[in-house]
A and B are shown apart, each in its own frame.
Chain A
């Protein structure tokens, strides 16, 4: 029996508070992010039982899901009320709860506000080798920095608030290795769509994925965040990427990252985390970069992936009977017919944003396609920066002016059109080219039709009015 361990096993071992007879463990949680949707009932539970927050210093709350992405203050700087009564109440509940339980909080009006999964890395709250949770399935994103990060339900939020631990059983491990060099116009989003297309929406169930290989190493932290973010769409509760010099350079000097002697000690420890040579995974999947093209989804599951040069598949082309039935239902919902070229599909909406693709590099990629062009007639295109700081950075680079000159709307940070909880929605029967992470039935609004793709591909769709191959607009 070799003592070689994977990244996941090292982080797991470093957080075992107690091993239990049945194999499950009490695991310490280093970082806990809260937002307004999945926390109210957890605070209510604490209140009812007379319990307190055990480690407020390891907790950070920020509103994102419900916030409208229109201006939050009037000309005089006074906060504007939120029209939707229930949204306003949920946001007010978060403010009340963080005050009552004394939890660190970034308010909706702060420049630091943003989507919880953009804020964590940006502030240096997310660190390699930490265990990190949030009542949101896209918490897997933080694994991009080498954290073991995963989404939890509200009962678990309450458990972490009260005890700073969770009872967990070890996951199986899965290596997803992407070798080679990405082709022209191929981005991190295309890589993760290709991965999910390969393993399926349930392919990673019960596993923690470790993304490895030259392609992953060559990506910036932002690209890695896009990949780890969508681990959950492949069924894996967490996806991790070994920390390296790219990670350390990204984190150094961020407000909540370790400073001084602590920084040096932390980096020393972080360097011990990558999987040992000879470490074994329960499952290994390999992809070649040269096989990955700019991609998008055609159906209502993130596994329904096709290259932009491809066509709508025929349900008969699937071997599995239940998949055939699901494909037919998806096509009916999406209003597509088999054999139709993806590039011939017209769109009415474009959404550039979400915790998957709203960081500065995403906005730069979209802006480079939008620059000097104009949003096609009949298309509404939204650009929603992931945080106030991303927005400020983009404005400093003049990206906002490129977008607005091209007819895109430049909005305030939040989850926006990803999930139909705030006013940004896609109307029934209309089609959206979206940089978000889920193309489920009704995800962007009742009856909405979603095609997931990269920021550059979304911009290409906006200016052509149809799903388009971004490579034809580049250079």
Chain B
């Protein structure tokens, strides 16, 4: 994963509430078996409207998106994060995010910045004409004016973002503690590993009973 310490530049001054993942990337774009190229489908239904924000040349290629409450609600599709990354978005600022989306964003090097509604309202205004900067070093969002908003981020996530760490690799290094846990699990809850899923075992009459 690419390391990120600072995201600065133009920002889409959107502010919309409850932006769901079907809006970020409609389902028909999910039939891909790769991660790339989804930027073309990002916000397709919004882009179908004339004069929309995402096709406004003032914000073309903006690395920051400013949105309202509950950004990324709905489906768990990581395609939403892939689509944002593919269109060049590296940070999203909102009063709240869906839990699944913020995890997916983080895994793709996108910083999710939670700020109070008043701060988001102010940034939406500023971003119409001026750039915005998200800094992971100082944990602040700033503008060319006197705005300076501090935000919090899970320390582990912050470190992974700033160092561009591979989480699977990090966890695989814990192989021994995982194996120890599995040994204990086998003794304490032996039924967990017993779920045989070979086809013969599945085709049992009456499994669909009421």
A interface list, Cβ under 8 A from B: 14, 17-18, 20, 22, 24, 26, 28, 30-31, 37-38, 40-41, 44-45, 49, 51, 54-55, 57-60, 65-66, 84, 86-87, 89-90, 93, 104, 106, 110-112, 122-125, 127, 129-130, 135-137, 139, 150-156, 158-159, 162-165, 167, 169, 171, 201-202, 205-206, 222, 232, 235, 237, 253-256, 258-259, 262-263, 265-266, 269, 301, 322-323, 326, 360-361, 387-390, 392-393, 419-421, 438, 440-443, 446
Contact = CB atoms under 8 A, between A and B. Distances in A.
A84 B28 CA distance: 11
B28 A421 contact: yes
Contacts of B45: 441-442, 446
B197 A60 contact: yes
Interface in B164-210: 167-169, 171-172, 174, 177-178, 181-182, 185, 189-199, 201-204, 206-210
B122 interface: no
Contacts of B191: 127, 258, 262-263, 265-266
Given A360-B208, A442-B22, A153 B171 contact: no
Nearest to A111: B203
Interface of B: 15-18, 20, 22-23, 26-28, 30-35, 45, 68-70, 73-78, 81, 96-100, 103-104, 107-108, 154-156, 167-169, 171-172, 174, 177-178, 181-182, 185, 189-199, 201-204, 206-210
Contacts of A124: 195, 207
A110 B156 CA distance: 43
B22 A440 contact: yes
A282 B45 CA distance: 38
24 contacts: A22-B155, A24-B154, A37-B31, A38-B76, A38-B77, A57-B195, A60-B197, A84-B31, A110-B203, A137-B76, A153-B100, A235-B98, A237-B100, A258-B191, A258-B194, A259-B194, A265-B190, A266-B191, A326-B16, A420-B27, A420-B28, A438-B20, A442-B45, A446-B45
A153 B23 contact: no
Contacts of A18: 174, 177
A236 to B, nearest CB: 8
Contact of A255 (B32, B78, B156, B207): B207
A112 B174 contact: no
B31 to A, nearest CB: 4
A98 to B, nearest CB: 11
Contacts of A387: 208
A136 B76 contact: yes
A17 to B, nearest CB: 4
A17 B181 contact: yes
A137 B75 contact: yes
B155 to A, nearest CB: 4
B167 A28 contact: no
In the A-B complex, the 9 residue pairs with the smallest Cβ-Cβ separation, listed nearest first, are A389-B208, A104-B197, A258-B191, A151-B76, A153-B78, A155-B107, A153-B104, A86-B31, A202-B70
Contacts of B178: 17, 26, 28, 54, 163-165
Contacts of B107: 153, 155-156
Contacts of A165: 171, 174, 178
Contacts of B190: 262, 265
Contacts of A129: 189
Contact of B31 (A28, A361, A421): A421
A28 B23 contact: no
- The listed residue with most A CB atoms (<10 A of its CB), out of B30, B99, B107, B194, is B99
B208 A58 contact: no
A158 B185 CA distance: 22
A301 B97 CA distance: 15
Given A104-B198, A202-B69, A393-B210, A442 B26 contact: yes
B18 A38 contact: no
A263 B194 CA distance: 11
Contacts of A169: 154
Given A58-B195, A87-B31, A259-B194, 5 more contacts: A57-B193, A89-B33, A232-B100, A322-B15, A438-B22
Nearest to B105: A153
Contact of A206 (B73, B99, B201): B99
Given A26-B174, A28-B178, A122-B207, A256 B168 contact: no
Given A24-B156, A155-B108, A135 B73 contact: no
Contacts of A255: 201-204, 207
Contacts of B169: 49
Contacts of B203: 110-112, 255
A122 B204 CA distance: 11
B1 to A, nearest CB: 10
B96 A326 contact: no
Nearest to A390: B208
Given A22-B156, A106-B202, A206-B99, A167 B167 contact: yes
Nearest to A166: B171
A221 to B, nearest CB: 10
A30 B194 CA distance: 11
A389 B70 contact: no
Contact of B174 (A17, A122, A421): A17
A440 B24 CA distance: 11
A54 B175 CA distance: 10
Given A152-B76, A202-B73, A269 B34 contact: no
Nearest to A61: B197
A262 B188 CA distance: 11
Contact of B27 (A89, A127, A421): A421
A152 B174 CA distance: 21
